[in-house]
């Protein structure tokens, strides 16, 4: 199988996992079009930290074969800055692998893991790194079933939250040490 790994990272560990499973990997970090999928005979797409929207023509060309690795416990914190919002709104934290549909982080859930963090000693950077490591572990455990199409799917629960990058602007003064900011300074500051 030929798998396209869409990532913001130069060396995504997702590519290594896919290759170790015996599949061929292509990588991209820039926006792609359906022509790229067709020209390169792509069979499956895995998105991990990708900063572009995967458009409907790609989804139509690869039905049920586009997944996203998302650093939040969906349906909470769809969109941008998931880890930050999980503390600002004090919502559940975790990682989710979901099917990609036409919405933003709204597709069926394939795998999920909730994660608890203590405030003491935790920063946005350390919690992000912990979530990232849990995400890679979850992907490694579930990739064989996902690519085989045998991984159970379930619709997301209703509710949750969604954020855009600009939504964090009013809370910028709380980020006193940028990503080294202790999560204890953020917890619940944006509760609705």
In a domain, 143, yes or no: yes
Three-class secondary structure of residue 165 per DSSP: helix
In a domain, 115, yes or no: yes
In a domain, 192, yes or no: no
Query: How, if at all, do strands 66-70 and 94-99 pair?
Result: antiparallel
CATH of the domain at 12: 3.40.50.170
> What is the domain range of residue 68?
2-185
- Cα angle value 112/116/118 (rounded, 5°): 160
Token pair of 161 as six digits: 């939250």
- Tens digit of pLDDT at every position of the chain (192 positions): 999 999 976 667 999 999 999 999 999 999 999 999 999 999 999 999 898 999 999 999 999 999 999 999 999 999 999 999 999 999 999 999 999 999 999 999 999 999 999 989 999 999 999 999 999 999 999 999 999 999 999 999 999 999 999 999 999 999 989 999 999 999 999 865
Among candidate residues 72, 67, 51, 50, the one with its CA nearest the CA of residue 132: 72
Task: Give the torsion through C-alpha atoms of 14, 35, 63, 71, to 10 deg.
Answer: 30
Measure the CA–CA gap between 7 and 111, rounded to whole angstroms. 19
Tell me how far apart the terminal alpha carbons of the chain are, to the nearest angstrom.
Answer: 46
In a domain, 190, yes or no: no
Domain count for the chain, please give it: 1
Are the C-beta atoms of residues 120 and 88 closer than 8 Å to each other? no
In a domain, 79, yes or no: yes
Element (H, E) at 111: strand 109-114
At residue 8, the pLDDT reads 77
In a domain, 46, yes or no: yes
In a domain, 191, yes or no: no
In a domain, 100, yes or no: yes
């Amino acid at each position: 199988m030929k798998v396209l790994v869409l990532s913001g990272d130069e060396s995504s560990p997702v590519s290594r996992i896919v290759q170790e499973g015996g599949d061929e990997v292509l990588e991209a970090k820039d926006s792609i079009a359906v022509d790229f999928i067709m020209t390169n005979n792509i069979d499956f797409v895995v998105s991990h930290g990708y900063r572009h929207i995967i458009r409907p023509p790609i989804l139509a060309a690869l039905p049920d074969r586009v997944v996203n690795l998302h650093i939040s416990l969906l349906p909470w914190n769809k969109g941008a800055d998931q880890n930050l919002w999980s503390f600002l709104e004090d919502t559940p934290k975790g990682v989710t692998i979901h099917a990609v549909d036409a919405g933003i982080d709204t597709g069926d859930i394939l795998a999920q893991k909730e994660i608890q963090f203590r405030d003491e000693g935790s920063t946005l950077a350390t919690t992000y790194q912990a979530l990232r490591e849990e995400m890679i572990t979850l992907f490694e455990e579930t990739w064989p079933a996902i690519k085989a199409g045998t991984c159970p799917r379930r619709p997301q629960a209703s509710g949750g939250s969604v954020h855009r990058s600009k939504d964090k602007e009013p809370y910028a003064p709380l980020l006193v040490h940028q990503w080294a900011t202790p999560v204890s300074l953020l917890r619940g500051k944006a509760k609705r």
